[in-house]
Chains A and B, each alone.
Chain A
């Protein structure tokens, strides 16, 4: 019996050794592609690159890489497959929102918060909230701007909700698709260390739109200066999150292409903000009375005549 017990303990020891050996084995295999470019390129070590490698090489991300490989194994026509995209708890969603609003310099949003668990809950509901926030705030702002006028008749402007929905959902899904396709194409030409899956890009874009929700509410204030300061501020915050996410993915590429990609990302983000501001929020009136135009032409005619 003692021999049996000793044998069992030996088995456990072997298993424990194997388990201890495993994390080391995987860290070696993941570190290798990172090591080679460092030696081959021979460039000056940028601090960002080292931090990136550090983030890639930690045990935590290794384990999540392993788990991610095992997670999404259900075939795409079953309900369980789609449940894997909603595998987030409340605190995780709140953390991701916080990470999109307060960018930590040098840290990558995807590596830090998403870690191979991209979710569709955040992008979908943040876009839905943004659609209704913009429509409601625009309506309220127009109401307050035109309040005293005798010819103004309040209309709920419900049509604008569907236009807002189309614009925002198209931005949140088509731009990531285009960006992902572009990054895949460049990946085939230039070996990049960092590459993102389509869902991770959708996730980053979805969460980066969160800052526009309080911005849209504050746009009710009918002052041009205030509105444009808000645009700049929110663009800086969420734009920096996007830049810090996508810069590591393109910086190994041709300098001009990398800058053009990141520039396009920021430009589209700015266009969305400015477009929403221009279309849904009438310009605040100046002090002199604008020419009286019948209300049925729509309030936008009055503002255009300024």
Chain B
């Protein structure tokens, strides 16, 4: 090995070459590189995705767009607006008023996590965040119901307004449960579907109860 020990590169020869990996074509670059676009485009793209999911919830069809590109912006916005609208009821009674902001938040998120864990433990094939995404987006009909209830309560709080609120809340509760079942039922093993759907029913029932019993001060 004596010959190899003498190998050395003279400093006069420059070492050069290309370090960058050549990209196949320019077009994937333009799609994935979002660094140069105006901020408005970035925001509008996310808003459009959220809006598309809202439309999917209101007209539930078997599309996998809601499941595939999950995001939690929609659920966050819905949860915060629902919790805000549930404030301002019976504020000066010591304890036994309506739920506090934090309580609504915890019920919605903790409830969604527990239902997701339940469906995964029963053998469901859906991923954790996809399930959270669906359950959060399907709160939309109930948020609409809350808005309607507040508007009806502005007009008066007698028996007629209660009946209107009851009908609206029951209808929206049914819509929420059916929408989320439509998205989630396929990923469950067939002989356990009822076991997975029942907690979702209970979850939306509790939220509907909070909306229905809201009494302004």
Contacts and interface: CB of A to CB of B under 8 A. Distances in A.
A93 B196 CA distance: 12
A233 interface: no
A129 B202 contact: yes
Contacts, number: 75
Interface string A49-85: 0000000000000000000000000000001001101
A158 B202 contact: no
Interface residues of B, number: 31
Contacts of B191: 89-91
Secondary structure at the A interface, as helix, strand, loop or mixed, is helix
Contacts of B43: none
Nearest to A157: B96
Interface string B169-194: 00000000000000000000001111
A128 B120 CA distance: 18
B103 interface: yes
B118 interface: yes
A279 interface: no
Interface string B97-141: 111000100000000000000101111000000000000000000
Given A86-B122, A88-B195, A89-B191, A156 B97 contact: yes
Given A121-B118, A125-B198, A159 B193 contact: no
Interface string B145-168: 000000000000000000000000
Interface stretch (B9-17, B58-66, B77-85, B206-214): B206-214
A160 interface: yes
Scoring A85, A155, A159, A160 by chain B CB atoms within 10 A of each residue's CB, the highest score goes to: A155
Nearest to A135: B209
A71 to B, nearest CB: 14
A121 B194 CA distance: 12
A155 B198 CA distance: 28
A136 interface: yes
B48 interface: no
Contacts of A156: 89-90, 96-99, 210, 213-215
